Amino acid sequence: MNEPHYPFEASPNEFRYEFESVSEERIVRKVVVFQETGLLNLYNLALLDILETGEESDSTITDNRDLRIVMATVMRIVEDFLQRYPLYRIYFTGNDERKTRLYRIVIGREILQLRDKFEVLGRIGMNAEPFEPNRNYTSFVISTKN
């Protein structure tokens, strides 16, 4: 989590954070939303692009050549969210295999720093285990350490 990241703003009334992905060609508005899952204190993380129409999409491919900065920003947002709500857990997965693999790589790169503050689980099907790099997880859960 020592990577450069974009500044972000948290919505005061919602579990919503916004930031901008910036390249020489364009600026893409992005949002991270935490949604209740129906399970006690478990919130789903959704990373979305805000389209020119104002609609939000999790299926667009931005390709703004700033993936490391975007992912570092998402990790900072996760940290901020869990500092505000330390009893909550965050569940996330990609909407396709490629994005899930991307999340796995980012967590694997940052796991030593993450483990200082957070419990990070990888899930395969219904089974969860402490995250290990290079395992083919289908989803992830992050929470603050007790």
Would you say residue 130 has pLDDT above 70? yes
Residue 44 pLDDT grade (very low, low, confident, very high; cuts 50, 70, 90): very high
Mean pLDDT of 55-82: 90
CA proximity to 15, closest of 107, 80, 87, 70: 80
Q: Quick one: pLDDT at residue 1?
A: 60
The pLDDT value recorded for residue 118 is 93
* pLDDT, tens digit (0-9, with 9 covering 90-100), for 92-105: 999 889 889 989 99
> Alpha-carbon dihedral of residues 123, 127, 128, 130, nearest 10 degrees?
-100
Strand pairing category for 56-57 and 89-92: unpaired
User: Beta partners for 20?
Assistant: 29
Q: What is the pLDDT averaged over residues 30-45?
A: 96
- Return mean pLDDT, the chain: 91
CB-CB contact of 138 with 124 (8 Å): yes
Would you place residue 119 in the very low, low, confident or very high pLDDT band (cuts 50, 70, 90)? Answer: very high
pLDDT at 62 over 90: no
Q: Are 65 and 54 in contact (CB under 8 A)?
A: no
Provide mean pLDDT across the span 52-63. Answer: 86
The rounded percent of the chain whose pLDDT value lies above 70 is 99
Give the pLDDT score at 3: 80
* Ranges assigned E (strand) in the chain: 8-10, 16-22, 27-36, 42-50, 56-57, 89-92, 118-124, 127-130, 139-144
Q: What is the reported pLDDT for 7?
A: 96
